[in-house]
Structure 1
Amino acid sequence: MLTNRQIKLINSLHSKKGRVENQLFLVEGEKAVLELIQSSIQIEFIVTSEHFAAKYEQSFSPIELYIEDEDLIQKLSTLVSNSFGFAVVSMSPFQFTLQYKEQITVVLDGIRDPGNLGTIIRICDWYGIKQIALSHDCTDIFNPKVIAASMGSFSRVKFEYVDLKNLFESNSHLPVLGALLNGDDIHQVIFPGECFLVFGNESNGIRPENIPYITQKVTIPRYGEAESLNVGISTAIFLDNLRRG
């Protein structure tokens, strides 16, 4: 059974401050935890119910395991419904310094919604994009909602929080394509083999101070009456057109 100290630790991981102080984060739900077990990522311990402990006995065997009743699991979880449990995971394998040569890098400018960030990570994984650069004010990638929305893809896509001005100025030889409303029709764009693809904040788009670094503005043309597109959908459309090319 979990000790009071462990319960306090788990509850602390619901906040960014607790995650940073302990260098740990939560991975919640059956599918996400089982996929995590298959990776090389360090799992500190797993909390699950008696039913799932028996069901996945072989998978869990090398990992420290705590069996608790579903009421406590749900109380400790951030998910609306979680009868399976969760893993407490080390952040140590996630200290990346990205390299931009011969890479397509998705760059996120002020993405605040955890669901959007998790979806973008999952989309990048689907299209084989290996890395994401995030402005410092993007939401925390270890937020449980981001981890849940990424559906396991967080373990396969590298990321780094960076100063975007320094990023663009230090890599001025690379093309920078920005998702903007007044750009070239995406269906006519030839995407380069190495570049930055920049997506802006859900409400305000790419910040004005970053627009001068964009070497090609790209627009998804509108054929109907919708006011805007979700940033995750925009990312998927960009990456699909990139892969077609």
Structure 2
Amino acid sequence: MLSAQQLKVLTALQVKKYRQKYQMFVLEGAKLVGELLGQQRIQVQGVYGTVAWASENASLVERAGGLFQTISESELRKISSLSTPPGVLAIASLPSVEPTAEGPAFYLDGIRDPGNLGTILRIADWFGFAAVYCSPDCTDAFSPKVVQASMGAILRVAVAEIAFADLLLHWSGRPIAGAVLDGDDALRAALPTGTLLVIGSESEGIRPETAQHLTHRLTIPRAPHSRAESLNAAVAAGILAAVLTKKQDTE
């Protein structure tokens, strides 16, 4: 059974300001909890599951050890962000990530859709990116929706919130590429190793004050008769990541 203080904190973690206050975030479901328990980069603070879930997942309960606490179905519904709670959730410390000039990396300039951000984390994980940096007005990378959409990538990819001007202090003189409407053909681009890829918001693209620092302005070509106005931000990120890593593989 959860104490009143535990219930208060666990419920509050659905909101960004409380995730920042308590420096913790939530992961739900056996897959994410299992991955959390199997890594060492992010500290586990607690694992909470129902009796029914625990009886069917003895190995995970054993791995959690003293961090596991049995809770009721009603308590789980109160602290879960999902309409149908999966039986278990975990609390982990927010990782501390110091920005560096190590690449390749993404800079997300105003990505507000949780599904897109989670997918971009998966793309970064797939292509071996060093980090994903998010502008302060991005949706929170550690929100429940992004964590779920990342399919575990949030545990493997370094993520930090930082203004582009501050990131430039580390990336000055380094290659920075971004997807724009009037750039060079991205599929023919030869991007340097360690490039920072900037992905703009779904509705407005890369903001002008960020775009002025691009060393490589790229456009993903569309079919001559296509009527599509734009690509989904995560789709564009995947295409540019493939272009960049293909170039690196040939070096």
TM-score clears 0.5: yes
Matched residue of 1:72: which SS?
Answer: helix
Distance between the aligned counterparts of 1:85 and 1:128, measured in 2?
29
Percent identity, aligned pairs only, is 37
Matched residue of 1:45: which SS?
Answer: strand
Matched residue of 1:89: which SS?
Answer: strand
Instruction: Write the deviation string for residues 96-149 of structure 1: whole angstroms up to 9, x where unpaired.
Output: 112214x21211111112221111111100111120122122222211111111
Distance between the aligned counterparts of 2:77 and 2:169, measured in 1?
47
Instruction: Tell me if the contact between 2:179 and 2:218 (Cα under 8 Å) persists in the aligned partners.
Output: yes
Specify the code of the residue in structure 2 equivalent to 1:86.
L
Q: CA deviation at 1:57?
A: 2.0
Match of 1:154 in 2: 154
Q: CA deviation at 1:159?
A: 2.0
Instruction: Write the deviation string for residues 24-58 of structure 1: whole angstroms up to 9, x where unpaired.
Output: 11111121111111111322211112122122223
Distance between the aligned counterparts of 1:118 and 1:127, measured in 2?
15
Specify the code of the residue in structure 2 equivalent to 1:241.
V
Matched residue of 2:212: which SS?
Answer: helix
Aligned match for 1:86, one of 89, 98, 118: 89
Matched residue of 2:69: which SS?
Answer: strand
- Structure 1 37/210 Cα, relative in aligned 2: closer, same or farther at 3 Å? same
Match of 1:20 in 2: 20
Normalization by structure 2: what TM-score? 0.91
Unaligned runs of 5+ in 1: none
Distance between the aligned counterparts of 1:113 and 1:154, measured in 2?
16
Calculate the aligned-residue CA RMSD, in Å: 1.6
Distance between the aligned counterparts of 1:13 and 1:151, measured in 2?
19
Match of 2:47 in 1: 46
Match of 2:174 in 1: 174
Distance between the aligned counterparts of 2:148 and 2:66, measured in 1?
21
Instruction: Write the deviation string for residues 130-172 of structure 1: whole angstroms up to 9, x where unpaired.
Output: 2012212222221111111111111111122222123235532
Specify the code of the residue in structure 2 equivalent to 1:243.
T
Distance between the aligned counterparts of 2:91 and 2:170, measured in 1?
36
Distance between the aligned counterparts of 2:117 and 2:104, measured in 1?
18
Instruction: Tell me if the contact between 2:101 and 2:170 (Cα under 8 Å) persists in the aligned partners.
Output: no
1:64 correspondence with 2:82: no
The number of residue pairs the alignment matches comes to 242
Aligned match for 1:237, one of 232, 236, 239: 239
- Structure 1 187/139 Cα, relative in aligned 2: closer, same or farther at 3 Å? same
Match of 1:8 in 2: 8
Matched residue of 1:79: which SS?
Answer: coil
Unaligned runs of 5+ in 2: none
Give every structure 1 segment of 4 or more consecutive aligned residues whose post-TM-superposition deviation is greater than 4 Å.
none
Match of 1:122 in 2: 122
1:191 correspondence with 2:194: no
Normalization by structure 1: what TM-score? 0.93
